[in-house]
Structure 1
């Protein structure tokens, strides 16, 4: 299995009450590896002008899946995705 991160964008209004059921389904299937809302922060670099913080990301979920195709299929029931919002799926390559 590979690890993936689902990055939630802020381009739709989701049903807050549906998150618990969705996350429970991921947990029961053994896919859920963690997640959180994303709060305020800053960019840091050793020198030069700092870029602005990415503001359109609102949260993430880390999952394990057999493939990118399976990771995408796990969006079914995601409240933001179901509301028409964008969920970015990125593989987290292992370096070991």
Structure 2
């Protein structure tokens, strides 16, 4: 079983639907029931640091993440159904968490 992170972008045309507390509660309950959910959180503002002292702006495009386990990317994509950001027309990026 592989681990994936779903990164929710702050670009939904319908932000009210994307941020609906009841929708999120139902979606997370569904994920938990699958046994493939490993947590997640909203993402607040932050800062970027570099060794040379330059401080590029932190990306405001991401506003939340979820960790899931799935056999492959196709199986991970099935967890998009019901995701409030996805259902509101927003972007959800899926990345595999590589084992080192």
Shift of 1:49: 1.8
| Alignment counterpart, residue 96 of structure 2, candidates 88, 91, 96 | 91
Unmatched 5+ residue regions in structure 2? none
TM-score by length of 1: 0.94
| Matching residue of 1:9 | 9
Shift of 1:48: 4.1
8 Å contact from structure 1 (residues 8, 88) kept in 2:
yes
CA-based RMSD: 0.9
Structure with bigger helix share is 2
In 2, distance between residues paired with 1:35 and 1:81?
16
Runs of 4+ more than 2 Å apart: none
TM-score by length of 2: 0.90
Unmatched 5+ residue regions in structure 1? none
Aligned residues: 95
